[in-house]
Structure 1
């Protein structure tokens, strides 16, 4: 009998089938593991401190630049070492408060930190074909950060501060563009940009320096604002109807005994030791008794609201670098409110926020969000992002702002701010000398806030400035004596550039 065709085919043994199945399982397991590692866990391995590939890749090309105007204030230099390039800085100390640092060992700060993805070339907005670049892990050329800084204003700020401990913040009131951001003593971030022993030694010396050159005093340090805060108090009193006519007598008594205490709020000059002074006279002479009384008369809630309209108590003030929180207490008794209304007690401010105060007054009562970056571009100049001016808050009406402007103008023309006068310009300002330390034993902080515009102009002033001197060897430690001349030079630099 013939055998069937199927019976002639050799059979597959059970052992063979098992081996094939086992190999298939192994292949699938290996594929699953490869997918897990290369796709789902890729970022975990990328970010592992033991993985040096990212660091090597980061420094295998020049870093994008930070520019002031059309001029780069940063660069990149070949190292000949493990990392191909390191960051360099032109006039590093002059712009350190703006750029921050980029170090192969110690990371990035300031704009070098907030814009690191763009500068290093890892920002997805730089990619020509984002999906393919992601798959291929291609690193694009670093983009550029164009700042709002005015070179002449920055130079004037640093020159004016000199060897003193202090800071300057200058703002364009109508847009919020930061024109100068200076902090002294400063440092050269290029001295520790690499990874050599010399870089580490430079870092250690800076960190050990008791003068804290790496502290950004314009953004990250708060000080009692002293009498410069009286601008906020005057605005609150006018906005609340406590004062309607800046030249009319107020009901402020003399002496003024703070509520709930037997303590008089004393003045720095006997010219203030009279009752019923007008708000204009009190601001021109910087009378503590009058402004403390008006702050209490205005009330805690309106005072808090006005302070917060200018940026106080904002813990998320990003320019895009985050500024320290300026403080005006929201819970106080009447005597504490009196002291806070003249910039003492727990009131504390960064120079940035006090520049916002001056800028808000100058801009008819509208405070603009401060911004340090003008635009972000690719390496070929193509715009990635253009920053638009953004209103922060409406602090007061234009009518009230006009009254405060007049108060500040009279301070410069007739009062404690005479050192800020500029020929051919209208200047408004307010001095401040804030006591601090145990029993006020510390060297006072000297403040000046101001704005300026060409004489006769009806436009919004192009510049507002805040200056603080935290420590100086000068004998005249006052806002008018130390800080006002620096503000004047910064304002002149801006006005001359707009002329």
Structure 2
């Protein structure tokens, strides 16, 4: 009898050990597999079981959470959804996260170990802390000015603080309301399909995820290359440029929209945007040096993370003389995001020092203590020497005071700018993109406080008016005024 009891006990022990081994296999060895299984709703229930932390701009709350009382309890809300969608992105129970809702998801959802008073204990228990607060660098007045200026037209506005790289405005138009995608109902699925089918692509963040031919705004880079390499030593000396200009190795004659470009000095050619002068300068500087200068300004790189990834801008390094001439006036294969062109203007305004653009000022925990902070970071050494940057600043100011950018002038402030008209479409048949890049310095400041890039895709103006800054320059002026005030 005792022997039988021993056998039963031993067998029971083996069964118990087998159960423990299987539990360990499921909970340890295959935990990641079960966590990732779409049928496992525990992670989603925990994720949406508490309010997310909020995203802020200048003391304004850009996001919120509402208690639905359902299984996925809290849904995201956006008080000014369309205005700030390029900054916040969306946090959807069905379609995931984008922009800051994505890159700062660990902090906003409470999973970031920096939010826990005992990080190791939080790791072991996998417990969620209250969501952290993400404070952005956005200035609401500048954001509103850019959004209002576009008036729903396709385009984008980016404003930077030149000395730090802080992003003061990040506008993409047309926009969308992220709140439409927050929940998991049929209404959300309908909104998603409608947004995807919209030919105007409201989900596209044109400020950082769309590249355009930069047109004449790229002449800032070409002028920098010509001055830095010594091709031009005096901005008031004749450039010996014919008008029209025969592109080297071709029969194509390049013409100007402005009069008086024949043999124009660099200062005058910059102010009235002479294509012939800058095409000849680009060909004279040559592809290697043009490519080097463009790369120093941020072209031909993978694109910055702000922290959301931005598309890289393109200049290229394998072009013949005619191609580099066209690229030097922002055509051919040259492409840039609005963020990149804002960085070009900011670099000039900052004396030739390019700063890394960033969007997150600081992250705080539930008690308001700072757990992470954004810091200014120079991207390498000077892009151009200080004297070249000062000459570029002077030419940009001349363009506003007496050139093609007079509509950007702000009474009492020092403003530098450059207009641009970017041809596109087969045989340049489509309406040109209107560009404007600029910077502004308040009367009592020692440094420019803001640099702006504006692109308008469907500019409702005559072509000559677009070239004169009729579509984009007034938007940039409004953004600069808001930032200065």
Counterpart selection for 1:307 from 287, 294, 305 = 294
* 1:370 aligned residue: 357
Instruction: Tell me the TM-score normalized by structure 1.
Output: 0.93
Distance 1:127 1:171 in 2: 33
Secondary structure at 1:325 match in 2: coil
Once residues 57 and 386 of structure 2 are traced to their aligned partners in structure 1, the CA distance between those partners, rounded to angstroms, is 33
Q: Write the distance in 2 (CA, Å) between the matches of 1:28 and 1:298.
A: 78
Q: Which residue of structure 2 aligns with residue 422 of structure 1?
A: 410
CA contact 2:404–2:467 (8 Å) conserved in 1:
no
Contact conserved, 1:374 with 1:387, CA < 8 A, in 2? yes
Stretches of structure 2 that go unaligned for 5 or more consecutive residues are: none
8 A contact 1:92–1:189 mirrored in 2: yes
Q: Matched residue of 1:392: which SS?
A: coil
What is aligned with 1:197? Answer: 186
The counterpart of 1:83, out of the listed 51, 72, 75, is 72
Pairing partner for 2:120 from 100, 108, 131: 131
2:342 — aligned with what?
Answer: 355
- One of 317, 323, 326 as aligned partner of 1:330: 317
Q: Which residue of 1 aligns with 2:399?
A: 411
Could you say if the C-alpha distance between residues 42 and 316 of structure 1 is closer, same or farther in structure 2, counting changes exceeding 3 Å?
Answer: farther
* 5+ residue gaps, structure 1: 1-9
> What whole-Å deviation, never above 9, does each CA across 1:174-215 have from its counterpart, x for those lacking one?
000000000111111111211111122122211111111111
Query: 1:60-459 alignment to 2 at 5 Å?
Result: 60-272=49-261, 274-275=262-263, 277-393=264-380, 394-455=382-443, 457=445, 459=446
Matched residue pairs, number? 482
Shift of 1:20: 5.4
| Separation in structure 2 between the aligned mates of residue 77 and residue 306 of structure 1, nearest angstrom | 50
What are the Cα deviations for residues 242-279 of structure 1, in whole angstroms up to 9, with x where unaligned? 1111112223344321111111221112321x12x210
Give, in whole Å, the separation in 1 of the partners of 2:403 and 2:47.
Answer: 56
Asked if 2 retains the 8 angstrom alpha-carbon contact of 1:184 and 1:213, the reply is yes
Task: Judge conservation of contact 2:257–2:274 (CA < 8 Å) in 1.
Answer: yes
* Secondary structure of 1:168's aligned partner: strand
How far, CA to CA, are the matches of 1:213 and 1:472 in structure 2? 17
CA contact (8 A) 1:375 1:383 kept: yes
CA separation of 1:479 and 1:308: change in aligned 2, threshold 3 A = farther
Separation in structure 1 between the aligned mates of residue 29 and residue 116 of structure 2, nearest angstrom: 22
Q: How many Å apart are 1:144 and its aligned residue?
A: 0.9
Deviates more, 1:432-441 or 1:122-131: 122-131
Q: Distance in 2 between matches of 1:298 and 1:327?
A: 18
Distance 2:155 2:201 in 1: 11
Structure with bigger gyration radius: 1
Q: In the aligned structure 2, how far is the partner of 1:265 from the partner of 1:193?
A: 52
Does the 8 Å CA contact 1:448/1:479 hold for their aligned counterparts?
no
In the TM superposition, what is the alpha-carbon distance from 1:301 to its structure 2 partner?
Answer: 1.4
Q: Describe the shift of the 1:78–1:251 C-alpha distance in structure 2 as closer, same or farther (beyond 3 A).
A: same
Q: Distance in 2 between matches of 1:456 and 1:297?
A: 41
Separation (CA, whole Å) in 1 of partners of 2:303 and 2:155: 23
Are 1:447 and 1:479, in contact at CA under 8 Å, matched by a contact in 2? no
**What is the SS of the residue equivalent to 1:368?**
coil
Distance 2:458 2:41 in 1: 44
Q: CA deviation at 1:19?
A: 5.5
Worse-matched range after superposition: 60-69 or 249-258 = 249-258
Shift of 1:316: 4.0
